[in-house]
Amino acid sequence: MAKEKGGFWVGLAAAVFYPATAVMARRRNDGGERVPRTGGALIVMNHVSHLDPVYDAVFTHKQGRVPHFLAKHSLWNVPFVGTVVKGARQIPVYRGTADAQQSLRAAHEALEKGLVVIIYPEGTITRDPDGWPMASRTGVARLALEHDVPVLPAARWGTRDLYDHYRKKFRPFPRKTVVTKVGPPVDLGAYRDKPQSLALLREVTDVLMNEVKDLLADIREEQAPDGFYTKKA
C-alpha cells in the first residue's frame, strides 16, 4: 500500500531521519502491522530520551503513515526546527498557559481528520532512574474516550542508551539497538458510556500506561515495578 502523503517537510524530515537513525542504532520492531494503514489512530508511548520522536517518527512512517506529535510549543521558536514542525503539521502543546486547552483541541481535530497522533502522556522524559514510566497526565484519556479510533499502546527502548538528557551523555558508539513494540488496541468500551470525571480519566490513563509499561517490560525482559514513578518535590 502506498504511503500516506505528508508533503515537502515530512519528505525532508524522512530524508534526514532515516539515514541518521540507521547510523546511530540498529532497529528491531514488533507489531508495526497493528498501526492502521488508513484512518485515525492514537498511539500512546513511553518517553525516555529527546531522540524518541525521531525514532518513533521513522517507525510510524515506515508503516505508511504520517506521525503527528504533541510537542512543546517552544520548538516552534527554534530556527529551522520550527519551520519543519509547522510544515509537517505537528501539534504544539501550551502547558500552564491560557492556550493549554488549544493543544488538546488540535489533537482532537487531527483524530477527526483521520490522522495518526502520537502522545507521550508523561509530558516529559521520565525521571525514573531505571527508565520506567512516570505518573501521566490525563489528556490522553480524553483523546482516547472521545474518538472512535484504535488506541494503540507502544513502547520503545534503547534511545536513552544513545542520549541520556539528565546525565548529558551522548554515546553513539558502540552502535546501539532501539526496539519498538506495539500492542493490540485497548478496549475502552467499559468506560465510554460513563460520565467523565477526574477519577475516570485517571483510571483510563493508568490502564493505558500499564499496557505501555507491560510492553516495555517485554522488551527489557524485566519485571516492571508496581505503580508509576512520581517526581519528588
CB count within 10 Å of CB 229 equals 17
Question: CB–CB of 48/125 below 8 Å?
Answer: yes
* β-sheet with 41-45: strand ranges across: 25-30, 176-182, 151-157, 41-45, 116-119, 67-72, 91-93
For the chain, the structural domain boundaries read: 8-220
The model scores a pTM over 0.85: yes
Q: What CATH number belongs to 8-220?
A: 3.40.1130.10
- pLDDT tens, position by position, for the chain (233 residues)? 567 878 999 999 999 999 999 999 999 999 999 999 999 999 999 999 999 999 999 999 999 999 999 987 787 888 777 888 888 889 988 766 555 566 688 899 999 999 999 999 999 999 999 999 999 999 999 999 999 999 999 999 999 999 999 999 999 999 999 999 999 999 999 999 899 999 999 999 999 999 999 999 999 999 999 999 997 64
C-alpha cell read off for 185? 488496541
